[in-house]
Structure 1
Amino acid sequence: MRILHIIPSLEIGGAQRLLSDLLPLQKLNNDVKLLVFKSMDTAFQKSIEANGIEIIDLHCKNFRSPFIVKKLLPYMKQCDIVHVHLFPTLYWVAMAASYYKRSKLVYTEHSTHNRRRDKVWFEPIEYYIYGKYDRLISISQQTQDNLMEWLKAKKDDKRFVVIENGVNLSVFSSVIPITNKRKQIIMVSRFASMKDQETVIQAMVDVNEDAELILVGDGSERRHCEEVARKLGLTDRVRFLGARSDIPKLVSQSYIGVQSSIWEGFGLTAVELMAAHKPVVATNVNGLKQVVEGAGCLFEVGDSRTLAFHINKLLKDESLYTTLADRCYERAKQYDIKNMVMRYQEVYEGL
């Protein structure tokens, strides 16, 4: 089967991480290619290329240019399945399909919310765009429920499918931990407003001084967060590592994992932390809550004091730490990437 995945770029993010894990496994039984609007020198791109997967680069300067539609057509004609990820790719592929519709179109919804849904006038546009796709895959039940409500879809609409994200568990569980002088609290996310690293930084004011915060990732909000850490006098206890390719190693040497998100489609990073046998403290939001609840700890969005409370308890109480770490590890086993790959293949073959 000829499968073409399309995504704007391979910057640091959950959808990009998903592709870097998914594509090598799909390649075992399919002819798989990846198309990006613009290539980026990131760990995800290097990983995909190292696995022998062709990356087609459109060299686009403006991701929102409608001229992208014309550029997409020749590549869409060469495959059986076009699997689309993220906005504005969602729109350009749907428009391209108006001119050519032989390939089956699949779209993965990666988040429970986006800003377009805050504007009522987007409703008819989105109804038309999503209507061009043969399957709409959501990475969690909450993501699908919100999408179907937005599109006013019928409950028995067979186009909608839930396939939860998967993690290559062995990558995170097999790394030998390294002991640091300070116990490290880690958060791995791009610096965007929805990820809310600021709350985690503020929590460090009330966290035991023997611990430090490691923030992995890059993005538009990084400078702001660095300024917050400086103003709070935390520059010696909050480290900004930028985008890194050695995430499993960094996670393995950490002590506690944190995922602070204002909204989330699925807690992929939380699962990776759990797979490394780390207790996870995360925001009580749909998509993330369902992954962590009953295994790790939850706090409300923006509540830095409760976050600090949970961190301090885990730092001080070894028995509690071990119990939650074991629970998190067992929870991670439910999200083995092999199950996800099998489900995607079933969707493709069904089409």
Structure 2
Amino acid sequence: MKVLIAINSLDTGGAEKLVLDALPKFVEKGIDISLLLLNGENTSFLTSLERDECCAIHKVSTGSVYNPFLIFRLIPYVRKYDIIHVHLFPALYWVVFAKLCSFSSTKLVFTEHNTTNRRRNLFIFKWIDRFVYSRYAKIITVSTEVKLFLKEYLQVKNKKFTTITNGVNLEHFNTIETAHSKLFENDSDEVWTIVQVAAFTRQKDQETLLKSIPYVIFPVQLLLVGKGPLRLKLENLAQSLEIEDKVTFLGERIDIQQILKTAHVAVLSSHYEGLSLSGVEAMAAGIPLVAANVSGLKTLVHGAGILFEHRNEIDLANKINLLLSDEKHYLETTTLCIKRAQKYSLDTMVDSHIKLYNELL
């Protein structure tokens, strides 16, 4: 069985991180697997994968992933593999059209990572999406919530949908020692560290997190990990709120585990998610997760971490203040988060994918 994972790029993001972590696991389990990137420009994720030399990497271009002529560059690859597993738009479209042009019998699998996207607000895309999704032999959704939203959008009831939750490499986090204990010893010189790992895009809503910081009554340092088009706007917002001395923009990083090791609280303020890998990783690292009460996060966090009202910076600050003022509450939340993270094993996810591939052949 020859499998090709196709994705837009290995830029920093949840789906990209999932692919980066999963590829070595597939190789360990004896799968002949390769990676195809629509944009093969160098990134920290790609550099890391190339250094490990775990699989073949095909770089279709170094230009825009939205170029429809990429369809023709994909055709030779479509013919070489038994299974092509696709992540993200527009790879979702281009692989389907390449298969149609190649008359290949290759089985296509797609993973849907989000509960919604901008295409779903445009009428014309609804009909294109219905056609494209229908060409996939199997559609994996990363949560039941994602599946329900997608099936409602496509208005289909067929059985090609299956839920396989994303997974993280739990072994990488079992050895992490968190740094919270000494901060409950009434030492006013100590500073709590809040972290968010997310791209600087509208979906992730760092604006609400930044606006909450002036209302946090404890000394805090906010670490924002990621990159994206809204970084300058967010830096300007931090200055206008006069909290620039409390906020550090760390940029693109691959040492997330070490950053989590130094943090005390993780926050996700997104407008929506599918299944947040950065949230699972924070919980696995033994850090309480405070997240917006929105689709894709509430299911992950409810009963383990703490939910705050969407886009309400005052409620977010109140939830952080409560957490940092009560050691018992903090430790109970940490324990529940660690327990919840155990449900999201990378090994279990990869095994489920392999089982699905075998069923299709």
The reply to whether TM is greater than 0.5 is yes
| Conserved 8 A contact 2:112-2:141 | yes
| Conserved 8 A contact 2:9-2:38 | yes
Q: Give the aligned partner of residue 13 of structure 2.
A: 13
Q: Give the aligned partner of residue 97 of structure 1.
A: 99
Question: Could you report, residue by residue, the CA deviation over 1:224-244 in whole angstroms, capped at 9, with x for unpaired residues?
Answer: 111100000001001100011
Q: Give the aligned partner of residue 233 of structure 1.
A: 242
2:256 aligns with one of 217, 237, 247: 247
| Conserved 8 A contact 2:9-2:37 | yes
2:138 aligns with one of 125, 135, 138: 135
Q: Distance in 2 between matches of 1:205 and 1:102?
A: 58
Q: Distance in 2 between matches of 1:215 and 1:108?
A: 27
Q: Give the aligned partner of residue 319 of structure 1.
A: 328
* 1:301 Cα deviation from its structure 2 partner: 1.7
1:115 aligns with 2:118: yes
Residues 325-336 of structure 1 aligned to structure 2 (within 5 Å): 325-336=334-345
* 1:120 Cα deviation from its structure 2 partner: 1.7
Q: Give the aligned partner of residue 257 of structure 1.
A: 266
Q: Distance in 2 between matches of 1:142 and 1:176?
A: 33
Q: Give the aligned partner of residue 216 of structure 1.
A: 225
Question: Could you report, residue by residue, the CA deviation over 1:5-64 in whole angstroms, capped at 9, with x for unpaired residues?
Answer: 111111111100110111110112111111111224333212322332221111241222
| Conserved 8 A contact 2:40-2:62 | no
Question: Could you report, residue by residue, the CA deviation over 1:69-114 in whole angstroms, capped at 9, with x for unpaired residues?
Answer: 1100111111111011111111111111112222110000010001
- Matching residue's letter, 2:351: M
Find runs of 4+ consecutive structure 1 residues off by over 6 angstroms.
none
Identity %: 39
Q: Give the aligned partner of residue 164 of structure 1.
A: 165
Residues 1-351 of structure 1 aligned to structure 2 (within 5 Å): 1-28=1-28, 29-52=30-53, 53-100=55-102, 101-154=104-157, 157-177=158-178, 181-351=190-360
Q: Distance in 2 between matches of 1:295 and 1:151?
A: 32
| Conserved 8 A contact 1:3-1:82 | yes
| Conserved 8 A contact 1:97-1:132 | no
* 1:345 Cα deviation from its structure 2 partner: 0.6
Q: SS state of the match for residue 346, structure 1?
A: helix
Q: Distance in 1 between matches of 2:279 and 2:66?
A: 31
Q: Distance in 1 between matches of 2:179 and 2:289?
A: 19
Q: SS state of the match for residue 244, structure 2?
A: coil
- Matching residue's letter, 1:139: V
Q: Distance in 2 between matches of 1:227 and 1:50?
A: 37
Q: SS state of the match for residue 146, structure 2?
A: helix
Q: Distance in 2 between matches of 1:17 and 1:62?
A: 20
Question: Could you report, residue by residue, the CA deviation over 1:185-206 in whole angstroms, capped at 9, with x for unpaired residues?
Answer: 0000111100001110100010
* 1:4 Cα deviation from its structure 2 partner: 0.5
Q: SS state of the match for residue 161, structure 1?
A: strand
Question: Could you report, residue by residue, the CA deviation over 1:318-343 in whole angstroms, capped at 9, with x for unpaired residues?
Answer: 11100100010011111111110111
The alignment's TM-score, normalised by the length of structure 1, stands at: 0.97
Q: Distance in 2 between matches of 1:46 and 1:61?
A: 18
**CA RMSD of superposed structures (Å):** 1.3
Q: Which moved more, 1:92-101 or 1:212-221?
A: 92-101
Q: Distance in 2 between matches of 1:46 and 1:171?
A: 20
Q: Which moved more, 1:54-63 or 1:321-330?
A: 54-63
- Matching residue's letter, 1:184: T
In structure 1, stretches of 5+ residues that fail to align are none
In structure 2, stretches of 5+ residues that fail to align are 184-189
| Conserved 8 A contact 1:172-1:252 | no
Q: Distance in 1 between matches of 2:288 and 2:339?
A: 11
Q: Distance in 2 between matches of 1:142 and 1:151?
A: 14
